[in-house]
Structure 1
Amino acid sequence: MGDNSEASHVVSVSREVAAGAEWIFELIADPAQQPAWDGNDNVAEAPGGQRVRAVGEVFTVTITHGSVRENHVVEFEDGRRIAWRPAEPGQQPPGHLWRWELEPIDAACTRVTHTYDWTRLADEKRFPRALATTSDKLQASLDRLADLAERA
Structure 2
Amino acid sequence: MSNPTVTSVDIGPKIVARQVQVNAPASQIFALVADPHRHHELDGSGTVRDSAVKGPDRLTTGAKFSVGMKQFGFPYKITSKATEIVPDKVVEWQHPMGHKWRWELDETTPGVTTVTESFNYGTAKVPAALTLMGYDKKNGDGITETLKRLAARFA
Shorter-chain TM-score range: 0.7 to 0.9
Q: Specify the alignment match of 2:77 in structure 1.
A: 68
Q: 1:129 to 1:70 in 2, by over 3 A?
A: farther
Equivalent in 140, 145, 152 of residue 150 of structure 2: 145
Unaligned runs of 5+ in 1: 1-5, 87-92
Give the alignment partner of residue 26 of structure 2, picking from 21, 28, 44.
21
* Counterpart check, 1:52 vs 2:61: no
- Return 30-39 or 43-52, whichever deviates more: 43-52
Report the CA distance shift for 1:134/1:60 in structure 2 as closer, same or farther (over 3 A).
closer
Deviation at 1:10, TM superposition (A): 0.7
Percent of pairs with identical residues:
25
What residue number does 1:37 align with?
42
Aligned residue pairs total 138
TM-score of the superposition, structure 1-length normalised? 0.81
> What are the superposed Cα offsets for residues 39-84 of structure 1, whole Å, 9 maximum, x if unpaired?
1111012537622342100011100232111111001101110110
Greater fraction helix: 1
Match of 1:79 in 2: 88
Q: Structure 2: which 5+ runs fail to align?
A: 1-11
2:98–2:125 Cα contact (<8 Å) kept: yes
Q: Distance in 1 between matches of 2:120 and 2:91?
A: 13
TM-superposed deviation, 1:129:
4.8
Q: TM-score, normalised by structure 2?
A: 0.80
Tell me how far apart the structure 2 counterparts of residues 21 and 38 of structure 1 sit (CA, whole Å).
19
**Which residue does the alignment assign to 2:101?**
98
SS at match of 2:98: coil
Instruction: State the distance in 1 between where 2:55 and 2:61 align.
Output: 17
RMSD over aligned CA atoms reads: 1.9
The Cα shift of 1:122 comes to: 2.4
For 1:120 and 1:33, the matched residues in 2 are separated by 25
Deviations 1:78-136 (A, max 9, x none): 111011012xxxxxx22110000000112211000000000022235544152343433
CA contact under 8 A between 1:53 and 1:78: conserved in structure 2?
no
Q: Which of 138, 150, 153 matches 1:133?
A: 138
